[in-house]
Amino acid sequence: MDTALGAHRFQFAFTITYHYLFPQLTMGLALLIVILKGLGLRTGSARYDEGARFWSRIFAINFAMGVVTGIPMEFQFGTNWSAFSAFAGGVIGQTLAMEGVFSFFLESAFLGLVLFGEKKLGPKGHFAATVLLFLGTWLSGYFISATNAWMQYPLGHELQGGRFRLVSLGALLGNPWLRWQYPHTMLGSVITAGFVMSSVGAFYLLAKRHEEHGRLFVRLGVSAGLAASLLAAFPTGDSQARNVALHQPVSFAAMEGVFRTEEGADLTLIGQPDVETMKLDNPIEIPSFLSFLTHHRWKAEVRGLEAFPRDRWPQNIPLLYYCYHIMVGLGTVFIAATGLAALLLWRKRLFTSRWMLWILLFLLPFPYIANTAGWMTAELGRQPWLVYNLLRTQEGASAHVSAGNVLFTLLGFMGLYAALSALFVVLVLRKIHKGPETA
Amino acid sequence: METLWFWLVALSLAAYVVLDGYDIGAGMLHLVIAKNGAERATLIRSIGPVWDGNEVWLLASGGTIFAVFPLLYATAFSGFYLPLMMVLWLLVGRALGIEFRHQSENPMWTSVWDVIFSLSSAALALFYGVALGNVARGVPFDARGVFFEPLWTDFSPARATGILDPYTLLAGATAAAALALHGALWIAFKTEGDLRERARRAARVAGWAALGLTALLTLWTRILQPQLRVRFAEHSWGYLFPLVAIGGLAVAQYFRKRGRDLVAFAGSSAYLMGMMVSVAFSLYPYVLPSSQDPARGLTVWSAAADRSSLGIALGWWLPGMALAIGYIVYIHRTFAGKVPPNGEHY
């Protein structure tokens, strides 16, 4: 942190981690709102429309937070990472500009219509507006995932005179890295939205207020949460892990805590990596299971960190290892919790099982933690590279912006975001308190 | 190809100024011309459904500069590090003011949001003018082709320049007057009664101020930036753009007086468009001129991405923007006409 590079990195990490707390809810919630509006159209029951209106109000607050914390992200490529921007602007500038042109215009136009135009558009038109809003948010996620995919697994460019030039838009947008990473990310977003919805529903049921809506929210939240948790683990999570093993074997070794190359590598459930002595302390392992998961053979070889030169290792191996294990561990908890809740729902006992409702209520923060840990896994695993195997992180920063200037703006962001958080919590709690019945 | 992109980016920035300009201008006047809670709510509702889409033009233009002029994006954004960060914070403040104003139930907090919204709108208008002033004058590139400017020096016109100095503050004041005029005409067009009358009075004052400041700024820029004289001397058809600006201002003042709010608003749009295109015309082929050795300035060719990237970008940019213009037109039509006096929904 006392170096300019450290300050640049910490500011970007801080602002993007904070930013992603909001889009991860809006993208998933957009899908759930479409489902609510669709059910409302089909059944003609007013309850679904009230629910959709309620969640649109929560959506709007989150969306506004996402916009105001998202604008600094685009600016920081130029302000803090100017060398990277000059090298790679011809490539990743494209996907970032496409996000602006194709999804931001769509989202901003149709959010206005979803919030203010229900009477004017009629039920079918309003449903169409929510579908377009959903499309805009998911497109936005696609362009950002495509930008990240190029940094993880660069394709479709050529190096010319020290700069990257784009030669194939198809390769950039159709990067095989995206095939699993994009749906995995979107499912993470649906998990957050499902858990938030079931948490609010559980709150209504436990507090004995707005109970009819509470049951609807729990039912939809649990169903979406279970489906998304299952799909996030298999096939998307599993396949993405194998993508990492194939294209970034050194990051994979660090994630899994494999120091020595072995045949029949064990899968570590819990353990503490010790980089000094190159071993895992106090491990609990499933024998040979890592080899099986990665190569579908029990005796396959998994290369450990020792197989790679040290200057290609991710710098913070313990943090990378823990982030990955937190994500996977929480994902397993999500499947168990929503699976149990779904079982109770099917047996028609969920709404009277107060203990389960308490669990649903307090699961709220955990998908946020899992999503954050997942992105930290991807980004720490990319280190020491900014563009994998092509550009190192320290070569990308703005050389003439001093550490003091960055610390000043970093503290400014921290203060501003602390105030934003307080405001956000107050506003959302008030909406939840008011309940879905009020127009 | 580079030249084509220069004009596309200039036009999209000009579109940003015309569109977001009216809601920034409305924000500046928010405390001045809307006197009570009901009028303030009406004023906010006149921009409520559209301001966000207008602001997207900034993001889209910024992203486009990133893609097609990466070196400009990298050099200018890191060189103007501190002022850009402040612009970001102001954008945050403004968005919060608009979006959270109607969420607060206590009138005391509503007035806090009103002040945040209005002050950050005014500061934003000023900063945009300052930014344009800095670009028009040129920046002190060093031998490595980078620069980093202090936020201000001692404000003496004779000494070293900073981001904020007499010349750039004049540019900021001009922008503030121009956007105030534009915003006032928008409010006049969208509202009725006392609010409309006060908006028209504000437009009159802002219009004359804009005229005076624009004249002063043009003279000073002619002295500071020799490139400007060269360009207009070589291509006399370039005088068309300042003429459009002046004509637009005249139309705005003339039709405001006669109560034709929409035509007046079109006039102020032409004024802003003309000003932006005039600046672009006089800078070309530079995208960021040097204030000392002209050879160090960034030109469209030295700042642009390679031809292959530029060609690919053109392929999706044009249809994408056509689509975006479609949404803008659609949403302005959906929320057309005067703002209904009461109630949340149209």
CB contact under 8 A, A165 and B309: yes
Min CA distance, A430 vs chain B (Å)? 9
CB contact under 8 A, B316 and A96: no
Q: Which residues does A310 contact at the CB level (< 8 Å), separation at least 6?
A: none
Q: Which residues does A247 contact at the CB level (< 8 Å), separation at least 6?
A: A152, A153, A177, A388
Nearest CA in chain B to A96: B63
Q: What is the pLDDT of residues A1-10, one digit of tens each?
A: 568 899 999 9
Of A1-5, A160-164, A392-396, give the lowest mean pLDDT range: A1-5
CB contact under 8 A, B305 and A89: yes
Min CA distance, B309 vs chain A (Å)? 5
Chain A residues near residue B67 by CB distance under 8 angstroms: 89-90, 93-94, 96-97
Chain B residues near residue A83 by CB distance under 8 angstroms: 74
Nearest CA in chain A to B302: A86
At residue A36, the pLDDT reads 95
The answer to whether residue A49 neighbours chain B at the CB level (below 8 Å) is: no
Q: What is the pLDDT of residues B16-46, one digit of tens each?
A: 999 888 989 988 988 888 888 788 888 888 8
At residue B110, the pLDDT reads 83
Q: Mean per-residue pLDDT for A80-100?
A: 91
The answer to whether residue A14 neighbours chain B at the CB level (below 8 Å) is: no
Q: Would you give the distance in Å from CA A166 to the centre of its chain?
A: 27
The answer to whether residue B82 neighbours chain A at the CB level (below 8 Å) is: yes
Of B77, B82, B99, the CB nearest to A64: B99
Nearest CA in chain B to A168: B312
- pLDDT above 90 for A187: yes
Of A117-121, A150-154, A238-242, A259-263, give the lowest mean pLDDT range: A117-121
At residue B255, the pLDDT reads 86
Residue B122 CA to residue B124 CA, distance in Å, equals 5
Chain A residues near residue B327 by CB distance under 8 angstroms: 105-106, 109-110
Of A22-36, A260-274, B94-108, B153-167, give the lowest mean pLDDT range: B153-167
Chain B residues near residue A69 by CB distance under 8 angstroms: 92
Whether the Cβ atoms of residue B291 and residue B225 lie closer than 8 Å to each other: no
Touching B: A residues 147-176, CB under 8 Å: 158, 160, 163, 165-167, 169
CB contact under 8 A, A116 and B345: yes
What ipTM, to 2 d.p.?
A: 0.84
CB contact under 8 A, A75 and B317: no
What string of H, E and C letters represents the secondary structure of chain A?
CCCHHHHHHHHHHHHHHHHCCCHHHHHHHHHHHHHHHHHHHHHCCHHHHHHHHHHHHHHHHHHHHHHHHHHHHHHHHHHHCHHHHHHHHHHHHHHHHHHHHHHHHHHHHHHHHHHHCHHHHHHHHHHHHHHHHHHHHHHHHHHHHHHHHHHHCCCCEEEECCEEEECCHHHHHCCHHHHHHHHHHHHHHHHHHHHHHHHHHHHHHHCCCCHHHHHHHHHHHHHHHHHHHHHHHHHHHHHHHHHHHHHCHHHHHHHHCCCCCEECCCEEEEEEEECCCCEEEEEEEECCHHHHHHHCCCCCEECCHHHCCHHHCCCCHHHHHHHHHHHHHHHHHHHHHHHHHHHHHHCCCHHHCHHHHHHHHHCCHHHHHHHHHHHHHHHHHHCCEEECCCEEHHHCCCCCCCHHHHHHHHHHHHHHHHHHHHHHHHHHHHHHHHCCCCC
CB contact under 8 A, A98 and B63: yes
| Residue A435 tokens, joined | 């309940």
Nearest CA in chain B to A100: B60
The pTM (predicted TM-score) of the whole model is 0.90
| Residue A364 tokens, joined | 């709220």
The answer to whether residue A101 neighbours chain B at the CB level (below 8 Å) is: yes
